[in-house]
Amino acid sequence: MSAQTDTPGSVTAVYQVSGMSCGHCEGSVSGEISQLPGVSSVKAVASTGEVTVVSAAPLDEEAVRAAVDEAGFELTGRA
């Protein structure tokens, strides 16, 4: 599990997402995940497939998976 605390009260997690190939893909994934409760920032990088999420508390991985699915991509695990 790759979670670390950046600032008091926040958790950073890095997920691996397959299928992203451009900035539009990054925006779609970021937009869906950012709607999850407690999420304060999302950074998706198509070239690596990594999505870094900062949230107030650890997120339910199934909720993240559902958001990624909604964007049209596949969550393959934690980085």
Read off the CATH number of the domain in which 9 is found.
3.30.70.100
How many domains does the chain divide into?
1
Average pLDDT over residues 9-17: 94
- Paired residues of 10 in beta bridges: none
The number of helices, as runs of H, and strands, as runs of E, in the chain is 2, 5
The per-residue pLDDT for range 16-75, each reduced to its tens digit, is 999 999 999 999 999 999 999 999 999 999 999 999 999 999 999 999 999 999 999 999
Residue range(s) defining the domain that contains residue 27: 3-78
Q: Taking each helix axis as running N to C, give the angle between helix 61-71 and helix 23-34, from 0 to 180 degrees, rounded to the nearest 10.
A: 140
Q: How far apart are alpha carbons 6 and 21 in whole angstroms?
A: 28
With 0-12 / 13-18 / 19 or more C-beta atoms within 10 angstroms meaning exposed / middle / buried, residue 29 is: buried
